Structures are given as structure tokens and as C-alpha cells.
Amino acid sequence: MIVLAIDQGTTGTKCTCFDRDQRPLSSASLEFTQHFPQPGWVEHDAEEIWETTLEAARQALREAGAAPEDVAAVGITNQRETTVVWERESGRPVRKAIVWQCRRSADICRRCVESGLGETFHRKTGLVLDPYFSGTKLTWIMENEPHIARRAPSGELCFGTIDSWLLFRLTGGRVHASDVSNASRTLLFNIHDLAWDEELARACGVPMSMLPEVRESSGIFGETDPAAFLGISAPVAGIAGDQQAALFGQACFRPGMTKNTYGTGSFVLMNIGGEPRISQRGMLTTIAWSIGGEVTYALEGSIFITGAAVNWLRDGLRIISEVSEIDELAASVEDTGGVYFVPAFVGLGAPYWDPRARALLIGMTRGTNRAHVARAVIESMALQTADVVEAMVAETGVALKELRVDGGASVMDMLLQYQADLLGVPVRRPIVSETTSLGAALLAGLAVGIWKDLEEIEERWQLDREALPDPGAAERVRAMRRDWKRAVERSMGWALEEEASGDT
């Protein structure tokens, strides 16, 4: 008996089989195409995502030696704000998916803020008006693609984030639904009332008929269609957005517990319990999960670019051939030589929320080499995280006791040590590093009785590596934070300089 977790991410799809002891028995992942139709625009082909899901699941089952009938439940976790629109009848997407990284709706967000809607969205959704979220991506579609706008009000088109798209396909088109964690990332969902908000949908020009049914994160969403999904007939029993799933997989079940996932971007989430707290310091208030009628909320600091900057070193600057080379290259120098890197390729997220900020590499001299740049990229991951944690602690008044970490870059011990020194608390990496997939599996397994409760899950969390803060690093940390903040200010000042020169 296994639980199959589908982890549909920004650059690839991973499927993992977990056993009763929460051990990953197998895992398979496939990358898919990134489409960049204009500068700042990012799209995915939803059909290609579905095909990679099928193939990754097929490979994971084969590697685990599992038959279709061995699958007790399926869990889904996903890149969250990416926006898919498809035909209800045929299941065909009507256009490419607009990815969470895409900035095409920046002017729409600015227009909404200028019309006085910013506080309304913030108060009801816990989010800020930023192109990051799904709502204004849908607005852009309605305003720029009339063939879709004409069809939307009749109910013949479905909107969904990637979880909803996969659920629709897994169930053979029978279920159009999402969970509360994903719904809370759309700008259309009231996190207090736990329902789609007609005022917000109207402001975004989105017909309510397009929206999926919203359910709890752990529960039976529907049965997979064997004809559509590799002969498997099993309940889809758990869904959560990738960062909420990672928080769950890290067993951060008590208020104040915090995790960071170093992925394409980085996402710091702090469990704040059963009451939403609307941030005044650039954090997002989001729904972490809902189980058994009880909702858990989180503060989130969304950092748009961390691991993606390593890909840029490989694909853009070509100073490394493989992503795995960065650790050794960065370790070949003692420090960055005064170089700082602000990875604002798509603007800055929390706690700054400046969509017009630009990436910046500063502090170089004739002695700067590629190793210094590589080390600056790694340090930027830890420095951005420190900015977010600092704001969270100030917001809640709760001192951080530890930071649990996961994601691809968390394998770098150098990064963990930077983070511990910057935060002054232990940074802890679990044995099961794929906590996003594990979270989806745990939510699904809870719903079908494989695990009985949160206490059982918490008891099974195991430590792999702990980085402790170096008491002698305090002076160096202060200097790093000071110079880093100066670099961020320069990055954010770019648009102001353009405006002053009349180049915008």
C-alpha cells in the first residue's frame, strides 16, 4: 500500500511513492518547456504539464515495483498562482497557462491600487495587489483575449490553479475543485468567510461561473479515472499549494513554527494558528490548510528568485555547466570580495513588493571572478530569507526558535551556515528533504486513515543536518546586512531613476 504524491512545480513535475512509514520508495521527475513570449512574461503548456504528470507517475510506480491497485490515495501539491483556463466539456486548455512569475498584469495591479481597491483586497484576502497572484492574470485574459471573455460567463470555461487542472484530468473531467490553500492565493477568495468573494471577482472582471468548488485540504476530492490515469482507481484525498504542503511536511503544526523552502524562489511560512492576522509589514496572510473543519493560517514571505538565479548562472552567464557545480565553486573563495547580488529579475517580493525593481550585481572590482559571483548568489538566498524572518518576528512578536528548511538548495551546507549566522538560531534540515511531496502524501493519507493524526506525523519527523549560529560571526553579519540593504535600495531605485530621466 502506497500513497502517490504529485508535486507539480514551476520547472518540472515530480511523482513520489511513500509507504506507511513516510519513507519515499521511489521518485521520478520530468522537466517541461518554459515559454517567454515577451520580456517579463512566463507561460506553460498545461497539456505538457499533464503529460509529464502521467509519465512521472508511470516511472515512479515502476521504480517502486507498485501496481495500480497498490495506490491507496493520491495527493497533489503544486505551483500555486499559475493560471489555467480550459473548456469544461472537452478539457482542452484555451490558451497557455500564465505562470506565477509572469509580470504582465503589473499595470492592472497599479490601476486597482490607484482606484482605491488595494486595502479591500488586502483586508479580505491577506494578499497584496501584485502580478504574482491569479486574479489579475485572469483580468488580463478577459481584457486582452475577447474570444475567451465572450465564452467565460456562460459556464463553458473553467479557471483553476494547477491543482484544479490536474484534479480535473485525474478524475476524467468529473471534478472541478480546489482546496482552501490554493484558493487563498488567487486574490478572489475571502480568507475570513472561506468563500469566493463576489466583490473581488467583479473588480477583477472574473465570472463566478469559472471558479472551482473549494474544499478542505485533506478529504476525498474524487476518484481517479483508470482510463485517464494509468489504470489507477484511487481517491484524490489531499491537495495543498506547494509551500503550504512543505509546512505540513515539516510538521510545523504549532503556532510560531517556521520553515523555508529554497526552490525556484524561496518561501518562508510561519504557522500563526486558527485566526488570520493581516500583515502590516509586507507579509502575506494565507491559509495553510484545513482539516476536519479547523483552519490553520500562516504568514508567508514570498521571495521570487533564489534557485532560479543558479539556473541563470548556468544558462545566462554560463559560468557553470551544471547547477550542482555552484557549491564547490563558491567554496573556492573565502568570501564574495564585497560583491552583492540582488536577484530582482521579476521585481522584488516580500517584504518589499516592488514589481519594478531590477536585478543588480554590485561591488565588483578587477579582482572579482566567477567564484565571487557564485558565492554572492548563495548569500543572496540567505540574506533575502533574513529580511523576511526579521519582518515576521516584528509582526508577531514571537521570537524564532529554529528554522526548518527544505528544497533543492537546502543540500548546500554553506547556505545553511550562512542562514544560521544571519538569523542567530539553529537551521534544521530533515532526513526526508522532499517535504513538499511528503506534505501532499500526508494530507491524502490522513483522509483515508493511513495515518491517524498530526501527533503521529510529528513523531516521525527526523533531523538530518543542523547548522548552529557561529557566535563569532556577529560583526560580519551586521556588515553583510547593512551592505545588502544598500544594494536592495539601489535595485528598487532603478525605476525611479528611469522615471527621472524620462526613459519609461
CATH code for position 129 = 3.30.420.40
For 44, the grid coordinates are 506553460
Using 50, 70 and 90 to split pLDDT, how confident is the model at 497?
A: low
- 381 closest CA partner among 308, 315, 439, 311: 308
Strand partners of residue 285:
299
Number of domains in the chain: 1
- 32 closest CA partner among 102, 96, 104: 96
Check whether 289 has a pLDDT greater than 80: yes
Domain membership of residue 87 (yes or no) is yes
**Where do the DSSP E strands lie in 204-305?**
213-215, 218-223, 235-241, 258-262, 266-273, 284-291, 294-303
Domain membership of residue 104 (yes or no) is yes
Check whether 503 has a pLDDT greater than 70: no
Q: What is the pLDDT of residue 495?
A: 58
Average pLDDT over every residue of 58-83 = 96
For 336, the grid coordinates are 564574495
Higher pLDDT, 407 or 214: 214
Domain membership of residue 251 (yes or no) is no
Q: Which range is least confidently modeled, 15-19, 53-57, 229-233, 469-473?
A: 469-473
Domain membership of residue 360 (yes or no) is no
- Boundaries of domain holding 104: 2-243
Domain membership of residue 326 (yes or no) is no
Q: What percent of the chain has pLDDT over 70?
A: 98
Per-residue pLDDT reduced to its tens digit, 393-428: 988 888 899 999 998 888 899 999 999 999 999 999
Domain membership of residue 54 (yes or no) is yes
Q: Cβ(5)–Cβ(440) under 8 Å?
A: yes
Q: Is 485 left (phi over 0), alpha (psi -120 to 50) or beta?
A: alpha
N- to C-terminal Cα separation, the chain: 59
Return d(Cα 189, Cα 168) in angstroms, integer: 20
Per-residue pLDDT reduced to its tens digit, 458-485: 998 999 999 999 988 888 889 999 999 9
Dihedral (Cα; 167, 47, 289, 230), 10-degree rounding: 50
CA distances from 97 to 55, 84, 355 (A): 20, 5, 20
Helix extents (H) in 225-369: 242-249, 307-312, 326-331
- What is the average pLDDT value for the chain, to the nearest integer? 93
Residue 351 preceded by cis peptide, ω within 30: yes
Q: Cβ(47)–Cβ(54) under 8 Å?
A: no
Q: What is the pLDDT of residue 102?
A: 92
Using 50, 70 and 90 to split pLDDT, how confident is the model at 504?
A: very low
pTM over 0.95: no
Domain membership of residue 352 (yes or no) is no
